[in-house]
């Protein structure tokens, strides 16, 4: 029995999804085995993946800014560059890495909270740049100043609130912070939903899914007692997924389909122009010198009472004669 084209496409899509699910389950299983062998190794792999993704988000958003002209994605790209930078120091500070001497497991937890506050607040603020102009230089300066200042009070002044105490576990500040961060992310979802028409559906779903998974990750980090615990493992797996989802959204927008948002905005502007011409009863025409042909707006057809659907191709070579005294236009076959 032969399958038609639609059946083959459905089977192929289903096989791709099944293969994708199997691959992801396999990766998670391998990461779990790695965590049993060496949790420091697992943590390093998880964080390096997130750091690379964060830098990738910036690279894609920055290098496609002239194509997609989307301040929301550009702002997120800059924000994730700094989030990735903080996560890099968090990775080096993790218990067992022995990079920053004189510090215990409290340091990486403090850096984690700082990074997550920056990430969640950035996701909350980002949609506002759909309506406001983004000054990239000021944005870079602000993020640089905030990051440098927080590093100063964490590493040098050591006045940042404790987040983890050895043999006791998480502090109240850390747990409350995770709930505050989750609340900020819920706010980001609400704000983003108001601007859903600015996105292609698939891209919007990816970003929303990323934020939801990030909330799950933050909640998972409210339960662990040991930095090597299962709750910590689940939190990092969810973090990997959330970073992958938002990267896929920006990658798809910036590289795979860079004109999707641009064309969407142009289409909306075209509809507004047509509506304005209809109300004002004004049309426009364009003459192509190479082909010696005219292209008319829909309102031109309405003005002269011509059925656009019934116009034959030879009419496109029509000469348009203008009479200065009246300003009226006549068609000459």
Give the pLDDT score at 114. 97
Which residues neighbour 149 within 8 Å (Cβ) at sequence distance 6 or greater? Answer: none
pTM: 0.74
Give the pLDDT score at 169. 85
DSSP assignment of 218-279: HHHTTS-SSTTSHHHHHHHHHHHHHHHHHHHHHHIIIIISTTHHHHHHHHHHHHHHHHHHHH
Give the pLDDT score at 12. 53
Tokens of 332: 């000459």
Which residues neighbour 227 within 8 Å (Cβ) at sequence distance 6 or greater? Answer: 39, 94, 95, 105, 108, 109, 164
Q: Does domain 282-332 have CATH number 1.10.10?
A: no
Residue count of the chain, please give it: 333
Measured CA to CA, the distance from residue 27 to residue 124 in angstroms comes to 31
Give the pLDDT score at 53. 93
Helix axes 230-251, 71-93, angle to 10 degrees: 150
Give the pLDDT score at 264. 57
Give the pLDDT score at 13. 61
Residue 4: φ, ψ to 5°: -80, 175
Task: Report which of 275, 75, 66, 57 is spatially closest to residue 195, judged by C-alpha positions.
Answer: 75
Could you tell me the mean pLDDT of each successive run of 10 residues in the chain, 333 residues long?
Answer: 50 66 85 90 94 92 79 92 97 92 93 96 94 91 97 96 89 95 96 88 89 93 78 90 89 63 57 63 64 66 65 44 38 39
Show me where the domains of the chain are located: 16-264, 282-332
Give the pLDDT score at 290. 66
DSSP assignment of 152-169: IIIIIS--SPP-EETTTE
Tell the CATH topology of 16-264.
Answer: Rhopdopsin 7-helix transmembrane proteins (1.20.1070)
């Amino acid at each position: 029995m032969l399958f038609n084209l639609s059946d083959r496409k459905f089977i192929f899509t289903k096989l791709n999804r099944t293969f994708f699910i199997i691959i992801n389950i396999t990766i998670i299983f391998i990461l779990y085995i790695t965590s049993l062998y060496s949790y420091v190794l697992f943590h390093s792999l998880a964080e390096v993946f997130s750091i690379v993704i964060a830098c990738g988000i910036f690279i894609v958003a920055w290098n496609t800014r002239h194509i997609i002209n989307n301040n929301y994605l550009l702002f997120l790209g800059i924000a994730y560059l700094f989030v990735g930078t903080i996560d890099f120091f968090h990775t080096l500070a993790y218990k067992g890495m022995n990079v920053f001497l004189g510090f215990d497991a409290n340091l990486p937890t403090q850096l984690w909270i700082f990074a997550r506050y920056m990430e969640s607040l950035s996701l909350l603020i980002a949609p506002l740049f759909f309506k406001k102009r983004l000054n990239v230089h000021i944005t870079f300066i602000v993020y640089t100043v905030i990051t440098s200042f927080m590093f100063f009070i964490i590493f040098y002044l050591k006045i940042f609130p404790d987040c983890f105490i050895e043999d006791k576990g998480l502090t109240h500040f850390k747990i409350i912070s995770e709930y505050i961060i989750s609340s900020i992310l819920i706010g980001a979802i609400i704000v983003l939903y108001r601007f859903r028409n600015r996105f292609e559906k698939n891209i919007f779903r990816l970003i929303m899914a990323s934020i939801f998974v990030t909330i799950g990750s933050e909640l998972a980090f409210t339960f662990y007692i040991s930095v090597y615990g299962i709750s910590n493992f689940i939190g990092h797996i969810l973090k990997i997924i959330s970073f992958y989802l938002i990267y896929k959204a920006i990658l798809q927008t910036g590289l795979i389909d860079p004109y999707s948002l641009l064309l969407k905005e142009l289409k909306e502007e075209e509809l507004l122009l047509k509506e304005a011409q209809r109300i004002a009863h004004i049309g426009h025409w364009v003459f192509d010198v190479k082909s010696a042909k005219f292209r008319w707006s829909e309102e031109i057809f309405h003005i002269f009472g011509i059925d656009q659907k019934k116009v034959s191709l030879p009419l496109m070579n029509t000469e348009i004669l203008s009479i200065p005294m009246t300003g009226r236009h006549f068609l000459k076959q």
